[in-house]
Structure 1
Amino acid sequence: MKWSLTLGRVAGIKILVHWTFVLLLGWVAFREAQRGSDLNTTLLAMGFVLAVFFCVVLHELGHSLTAQRFGINTKTITLLPIGGVASLERMPEKPRKELLIAIAGPAVNVVIALILWLLLPSLQNVPEEEFFVQITPANFLYLLLFVNVVLVLFNAIPAFPMDGGRVLRALLAFKLGRVRATQIAANLGQLLAIGFVFVGFLYNPFLILIGAFVFFGAYSENILVQHLDYLRGHSVREGMMTNFVTLNPTDTVRDALNKLLMGSEHEFIVEEEGQVVGTLTRSQLIQAVKEEQMETPVAHIMSGEFTAFNVQDKLSEAYTELQKTKAPLYPVLENGKLAGVINTDNINEFIMIKSALTH
């Protein structure tokens, strides 16, 4: 994710913090200043936020490390002001695996809360308001226990993208299949989201933000699963384009611009005698024009590092990869030679055709 700072790695997973997280710490400091808190109290409040997000990282690691056991890698865990996001390569289609991955995160918070509950003495005769108004050394760990319980309950909401939505989908999928289970879980999630928005207008505007997050998360998950179902059983060969324009490494920037203007291509595969040597995007061309490199061979400005698909690869896996990387174009090879190209637009057209044929 752009504008993120790397904190370190755990089991090969990069831990990032987004720059907007600083805004959260700044808001905490501002609130304490409004209350007239001294420096020690302000630092304690900021330390509490950091402790909560440490628990969030452990929560996401619960998901990620469980996924690793099933051969699913996690590239990053990113901390945002609203929580943490683990970028799993994919979710498993087998319900049992998805169930275990989904419950692993909240299970970590349950363990943290249980440990704190066992270690801390019981509270007696503590006024409820005083307990929650300000963080102090006396209530720091008690509030951390409370937050972990809230994280478990919040994630138990049966709505995507919360863990509860994935648990519900996994349980339904045992009997109904993944597509139907996703539809039911997504519809329930959207219904709950509308409820959040309604209550938010009456009581707490923050619930409106949560409602919107849940609504679009459920919608996106439902669409993605439907699309993958349409692609199931099809190969990249069926979804690739065979009518496309290529460049030779010796072609100049001027030659490439002429081909850009003559057709609808915005990206090009650079190949020589069927061997792909690179890719060239419109933005790279425009940058070369700005730098007055009109007669420069495209080999000097192209991207030499690229990923290619094989004609026999699964179309669903190509779609997932394109969604994940946002790459504009991938070459498709057959016996090591260029046979076609594939992009998200072409796969979406394939999906539309499949959808029309099945209705």
Structure 2
Amino acid sequence: MRWSLYIGKYGGTKVLIHWTFLLLLLWIGFSAYRQGATAPEILLTVSFILTVFICVLLHEFGHALTAKKFGIATKKITLLPIGGLASIERIPEDPKKELWITVAGPMVNVIIAILLYLILGNKVIMTGNRNNVISADTFFQSLFWINVTLVIFNIIPAFPMDGGRILRALLAIKMGRFRATKIASHLGQFVAVGFFFLGLFYSPLLMFIAAFIFFGAYAENMSVQQMEFLRGHVVKEAMMKHFIIINSQTTIKEAADKLLEGWDHNFIIAENSEIQGIIKRDSLFSSLKSYNPLAPVKDIMKTTFRTFEEHEQLSKIYHFVQEDPTGYFPVLNNGVLTGVINLDNLNEFVMIQSALKY
């Protein structure tokens, strides 16, 4: 995510903080100051917010580490003012695995709350917490109730929140992922509308959360629909069979001129049927300014790229293509280049399948 600060890495997962999180800390501190809090109280209040987000981070690692048990990587976790976002590589199609991954997050908060209760006992019932300013007496009591709130909030069956994903996984066991997602996403959008109207009277933050839930549910439903249309089809059915191959000694200027000759904006560089690299239109344009136009394209070509085989399932490669929306992927048949595939023609294939089905 852009404008995020990298703070570390654990278990192969990067941890980032979005810059708006820093604004949240400043706003919390300033609000405490305006309420007449002392300097130690302001420091404790800001420290409390940081501690809450450590709990949120542990929640997201609950998802990430459980996904790792099933061979699914989590590239990064981003902390935002409204919570955390774990970028899990893919959601497993097995609903039981999805259920375990999803439940693991709230369970972390349950464990934290239980530990705090065991330490505090009846002291978890707070008194004297004026104007939401945290004091030494209320720090851990407040942390207990925040974790309880996180559990309750996360299990609301509003897709794409944890509760919605739990519902989807449970429904998918009985009726399949496609129908389960449709039901869970529609319910999530219904809940989002409720949050929006509550936000009109109580808090603008609820309106922001409502928008996140509504559009998140819609996007997830569309993604699963796309996967359903791809299921049972192989790369050969969707790949582009007409593409441009150029020699590695072709000049940058000559390659740029070829852009005007047809519709293709990306080129494969090959010698004797062996792929050496790929060049995209943006690279050509930037190279015309920074390189000698008469230099060979081998000087600017991309030499690391993913390839697919004709027989691979489209549903299996889709997330790789989604991760690189501008990617251009050669397709091979027993090592021989037979086509290329990218996100645009994958989406066109989905549209065709949708039209044929409906």
Aligned to 1:51: 51
2:125 and 2:309 mapped to 1: Cα distance?
Answer: 69
Aligned to 2:269: 270
Aligned to 1:243: 242
Question: What's the CA shift for 1:167?
Answer: 0.4
Question: What's the CA shift for 1:127?
Answer: 4.4
2:229 and 2:111 mapped to 1: Cα distance?
Answer: 40
Aligned to 1:98: 98
What is the Cα-based RMSD across aligned positions, in Å? 1.7
2:63 and 2:323 mapped to 1: Cα distance?
Answer: 19
| Letter matched to residue 320 of structure 1 | H
Paired residue secondary structure (2:275): strand
Question: What's the CA shift for 1:323?
Answer: 1.3
Paired residue secondary structure (1:143): helix
Aligned to 2:321: 322
| 1:111-165 deviation per Cα after TM superposition (whole angstroms, max 9, x unaligned) | 000110110142399546x356210111011111111111111111112220001
Contact 2:42/2:133 (8 A) holds in 1: no
Paired residue secondary structure (2:312): coil
Aligned to 2:86: 86
Structure 2 portions without partners, runs of 5+:
none
| Letter matched to residue 32 of structure 2 | E
| 1:170-199 deviation per Cα after TM superposition (whole angstroms, max 9, x unaligned) | 111111111001100011001111111122
Aligned to 2:34: 34
Contact 1:5/1:17 (8 A) holds in 2: yes
1:122 aligns with 2:122: yes
Contact 1:332/1:340 (8 A) holds in 2: yes
Question: What's the CA shift for 1:284?
Answer: 1.2
CA shift in 2, pair 1:300/1:121, >3 Å = same
Q: Quick one: percent identity of the two aligned structures?
A: 50
1:354 aligns with 2:348: no
CA shift in 2, pair 1:39/1:248, >3 Å = farther
| 1:294-338 deviation per Cα after TM superposition (whole angstroms, max 9, x unaligned) | 111111112111111111211112221111232431111222232
| 1:30-59 deviation per Cα after TM superposition (whole angstroms, max 9, x unaligned) | 223323434322221111111011111110
2:325 and 2:25 mapped to 1: Cα distance?
Answer: 32
1:229 and 1:132 mapped to 2: Cα distance?
Answer: 51
| 1:72-114 deviation per Cα after TM superposition (whole angstroms, max 9, x unaligned) | 1111111122211111111111111111111110000000001
Aligned to 1:155: 154
Aligned to 1:230: 229
| Letter matched to residue 161 of structure 2 | M
Task: Say how many residue pairs are matched.
Answer: 358
1:234 and 1:336 mapped to 2: Cα distance?
Answer: 21
Contact 1:189/1:218 (8 A) holds in 2: yes
Question: What's the CA shift for 1:166?
Answer: 0.7
| Letter matched to residue 208 of structure 1 | M
For normalisation by structure 1, the TM-score amounts to: 0.95
Structure 1 portions without partners, runs of 5+:
none
CA shift in 2, pair 1:111/1:230, >3 Å = same
1:24 and 1:205 mapped to 2: Cα distance?
Answer: 15
Contact 1:328/1:343 (8 A) holds in 2: yes
Contact 1:6/1:16 (8 A) holds in 2: yes
Aligned to 1:258: 257
| Letter matched to residue 353 of structure 1 | I
Contact 1:193/1:212 (8 A) holds in 2: yes
CA shift in 2, pair 1:49/1:223, >3 Å = same
CA shift in 2, pair 1:263/1:113, >3 Å = same
Paired residue secondary structure (1:246): strand
Aligned to 1:61: 61
CA shift in 2, pair 1:79/1:289, >3 Å = same
2:125 and 2:96 mapped to 1: Cα distance?
Answer: 45
1:273 and 1:259 mapped to 2: Cα distance?
Answer: 21
Contact 1:276/1:337 (8 A) holds in 2: no
